[in-house]
Structure 1
Amino acid sequence: MQTVLTLMRELSIQCNMTLHQSEIMNFLKEEHYDIAVVDAFNPCAMLVTEKLGLPFIAFFPTIMANAYRIGMPSPLSYSPLFQTQLTDQMDFYGRLRNTLTFFVSLVILKKMDSLFDGVIKEHFPVDSRPNIPDLHLKAELWLYNVDFTLEFPRPLLPHVQYIGGLLAKPVKPISQELEDFISESGDAGFIVVTLGSMFSSLPLAEFIKEMNGGFAQIKQKVIWSYQRSKWPQEVEIAPNVKIMDWVSQNDLLGHPKLRLFVTHGGMNSLMEAVYHGVPVLGIPLLGDQKENMVRVKAKQMGTYILPGQLKADNFAGTIQHIIENKSYKTSAMKLQAIRRSQPFPPDQQLLRWVEHIIQSGGGGHLHPYSYKLPWYQYWLLDVILFLSSSSSPWSSTSL
């Protein structure tokens, strides 16, 4: 959580700089937009729309990590909170952990929001200063980059929609160079490895050495997205590995000879894997990636290895286990069928909901009245106090 707070502190500094860009802010005001669609992970996006006086639709890039903030019903008995690494099937200690995490998260959220207090005081007049919690409730519509193929089932409010899988699409032919490389694998097939845009810029020589050593022990060919200029000079690339600065991930995931996808566990990558019915081996590095991989494992579509536990032998063994155990492929194909048979593709769903919000003049008709209730009424504390009071009619009724 300290990492999250550090990130939010940096975002608040950037936000102050953004709101000081008067030329850009004035330009945006003069355009008279109908609505804004913002990345709601960064609170600054909501502050910018508030400064512009624009209604906004909030897009969240991953699982519902902020359910409490948007007033979402979240029974702690089966709705795992972010950072717990729990599934929806919790034993007593899991429910206890989930409950304690909820109370700790209230403190963390308050601390996160306070990091933007200075920005709000500097850029908004005293009589109209917004606060971050209220801005979360002000969104006309909430869109989440996830899907129930991976996310655990849970109650949703009318103005909350899942639209994960926007990047997944039918495959296009890959280059002849790659086809020739893949054909050399024979029936063994090949593996695709992409670990996110930031991975190759990190000093991870020992980690790369272990991964490369694991790939050298398997019979599959490996196509690995990694900047050659960043490759550690002391590590000799395994003979079955092809390093490329960039790969067409979606097209490779749909190739008939693909056997496994090794990924950091970003949601876009996982939704592409679901679309193509591909088993997954995750190496979660940061952010939401471990939580995402918990869901992949719970859905029996794959498993994961934490970076600090990855060694060449256990890496190679896990790869062989997933490929040889056909249950992973069977689960992946089942999730693919669920994903592809949904009534509307995610891009159509996104378009229709945004059009609906604009044409209906906002999403107020979708917002529950709970947004206006004081917290003690929401949790029925006044009713509980009345029923438990010694002066209540229940306590004076003779049996």
Structure 2
Amino acid sequence: MRVFTAVLLLLPCAFSLNLLMYVNVIGKSHLQFAEKLIALLNDHGHNVDVIMGMLNSYVSLKGSYGARNLVVVQFPGESPWGAVAHHLNNPFDEQSDWNRLKIESNKFLDTTEMLCDLLLVSFDVEQLLSTNRYDLALITGYDFCPFALAHYHKISPVVSYVPTPAAYAQTYYAGLPELPLYENIVFDERHDGRSTFSSRIFETLRTFKDRYYHFQNALAINNKVCARFGDDFPDVRDIAMNVSIDFTNSHPLLEEPRPISHRIRYIGGVGLPMPKPLSKELDQLLDISKKGNVIFSFGTQIGPDKISDELQHIFIDTFKRFPEFNFIWKFDGVKQMNATNIFNLDWLPQTDMLYDSRVVAFITHMGLNSFTETAFAGVPVVMIPFFADQVHNARRASAIGIGEIVRKSEITEDNLHHALEKVLVDERYRLRARELSAMISALPDTPQRVFLEGIEFAAKFKHLSSHYRLVGANHNFLVQIGWDVAAFLTVSLLISIYFATTLTIFVLKTLSTGVYVKRKTD
């Protein structure tokens, strides 16, 4: 028995893989997610070399993040990503829905193209990829360039991952049709659903816009890699189609039900920390309230300086209307709230507090980590989403029945009070949140297992992509959704109607002329 146990303990080392991981460092949370995946792979006995593309130069790097070898590629000065961060300067401003359809310069894709230039000429990247033999490449699924690098250095198979819900590049190259009835892009900030006819018109037009951006980006990257590796280098879109598995940081019970591919694997919650006991001070603070505590946090990107005095007063005055509940607000730890039931902290252990039964609700911007944590903990939410995937996450939580949305452009005392009253008073929200938490706990698979077994399975079977890729991946999106057939049938019908009408008119005229001639003859 002891020998058998020893063999089991040695199994991870016996199947050790050499992995290349590319991390597109878009934000701090993206880096944190990658670090958790690296730690999980290391714990399972795998070796991970990491290339970090510093799309966002405002993110600070510390240490090796568990990488065996770490190569950092960054802009010589400030990243052009700074031009994208306008949404952080005025986070409460909201564009009109139809204004989002304008064809403008896509700052994110423009920055990835400039970062690609640095990746292609990096001596450290070339040295790392040419002197190591890898069993698999694990690449952030947002941009084409690292996939082209992996192909050139004959690293196969390739697996993609994103620290957000599934990126459209993942679903598109898996062959999933971009149906306007379903959510195709998680960074859409529209609050409306997709069941109405006008919404589906909007989504169809938005799809044309995104496909235009996507084509232009692929063309630019193709030009760069062909200039670097030769004109016979394959189209990067064909390379993207040969990905074996696409990991998404979503949970199947939280994400929108939709047509799906075996390539898409949900690992939402893979990096969630285990809740720890609260400090003595926080434990005593939670005991003060009569009916429970509400924690309030907008995360790290919306600081106190972004919340105007007017908005601060709206929050404070609303919270005062619930004297039997205490509100623990991660603000600055200094400002006087002038309310006996509001406690201003400069930091709070969000995970630890959400798992405490004395916390009865959560006011949040609905970043993906917050969405996942509150769902796993079974706590209902009031959501004020700002940008990126936050509106998507808020819509999902609302659809599931665990929270209420307050639009960032419609934060008034009445709207906030109405949402809080529903979440705090209507027991259905708490019961639904608890049921969801129980469902997540009862699932037989864990995100850790899905991720590790997916990596090892893909590394073992090199041609997995040909089995998982839907036939739609070989066609453009017009063919995927059947527009070519619909157009053919429509034109055929119109032609048939035209000829039928022409023939009918001809017959009627002929008959009419014959009758007229006969009458005249008679």
Deviations, residues 63-116 of structure 1 (Å, cap 9, x unaligned) = 33416522443373642333254546x133343333333333322333444554
Query: What residue is the counterpart of 2:197 in the other structure?
Result: 92
| Amino acid corresponding to residue 251 of structure 1 in structure 2 | D
SS in 1 for 2:306: coil
Is 2:135 aligned against 1:34? yes
**CA spacing shift, 1:115–1:75, aligned 2, 3 Å:** closer
**Identical residues among aligned pairs (%):** 20
Residue 159 of structure 1: aligned partner: 263
Q: Deviations over 1:295-347 (max 9, x none)?
A: 11111111211222113443234222211111111221222222222121111
The within-5 A match list for 1:113-262 is 113-114=218-219, 116=221, 119-120=224-225, 123-128=228-233, 130-131=235-236, 133-168=237-272, 171-186=275-290, 188-200=291-303, 203-206=306-309, 207-219=311-323, 220-228=325-333, 236=337, 238-262=339-363
Q: Tell me, in whole angstroms, the C-alpha distance in 1 between the residues paired with 2:479 and 2:230.
A: 31
Question: What RMSD, in angstroms, separates the aligned Cα atoms of the two structures?
Answer: 3.3
Q: Give ranges in structure 2 of 5+ residues lacking alignment.
A: 1-99, 494-522
What is the 5 A alignment of 1:262-341? 262-341=363-442
Aligned residue for 2:123? 22
Contact 2:383 2:404 in 1 (8 A): yes
Shift of the 237–152 alpha-carbon distance from structure 1 to 2, 3 Å rule, reads: same
2:164 to 52, 62, 86: 62
What is the CA-CA distance between 1:352 and the residue it aligns to?
0.9
The superposition leaves residues 152-189 of structure 1 with CA deviations (integer Å, 9 ceiling, x where unpaired) of: 21222122211212234653211111101111113x21
Q: 2:448 aligns with which of 338, 347, 355?
A: 347
Conservation of the 8 A alpha-carbon contact between 1:168 and 1:275: no
Write the deviation string for residues 271-314 of structure 1: whole angstroms up to 9, x where unpaired. 11111111111111111111111111111111211222113443
**Secondary structure of 1:308 counterpart:** helix
Please name the residue that 1:394 is paired with. none
TM-score calculated relative to the size of structure 1: 0.83
Whole-angstrom distance in 2 between the partners of 1:4 and 1:158 = 34
Say which is worse superposed, 219-228 or 370-379, in terms of deviation. Answer: 370-379
| Counterpart contact for 1:182–1:190, Cα < 8 Å | yes
Secondary structure of the structure 2 residue equivalent to 1:318? helix
Q: Secondary structure at the match of 2:165?
A: coil
Task: Give the 3-state SS of the residue equivalent to 2:106 in structure 1.
Answer: helix
**How many angstroms does 1:381 deviate by?**
4.6
* CA distance 1:374–1:227, change in 2 (3 Å): same
1:367 paired to 2:468: yes
Structure 1 residues 380, 42: closer, same or farther in 2, change over 3 A?
closer
- Unmatched segments (≥5 aa) in structure 1: 391-399
**Secondary structure of 1:126's aligned partner:** coil
**Higher mean displacement: 250-259 or 115-124:** 115-124
The normalised TM-score by structure 2 is 0.65
1:127 partner SS: coil
Instruction: Give, in angstroms, the shift of residue 122 of structure 1.
Output: 5.0
Structure 1 counterpart of 2:109, one-letter code: M
1:395 maps to: none
Task: Decide which structure has the larger Cα Rg and report it.
Answer: 2
Residue in structure 2 matched with residue 76 of structure 1 by the alignment: 179
Question: How many Å separate the matches in 2 of 1:383 and 1:96?
Answer: 16
Residue 457 of structure 2 aligns with an amino acid whose one-letter code is H
Q: Matched residues in 2 for 1:33 and 1:208: separation?
A: 53
Q: How many residues align?
A: 383
Is residue 114 of structure 2 the alignment partner of residue 13 of structure 1?
Answer: yes
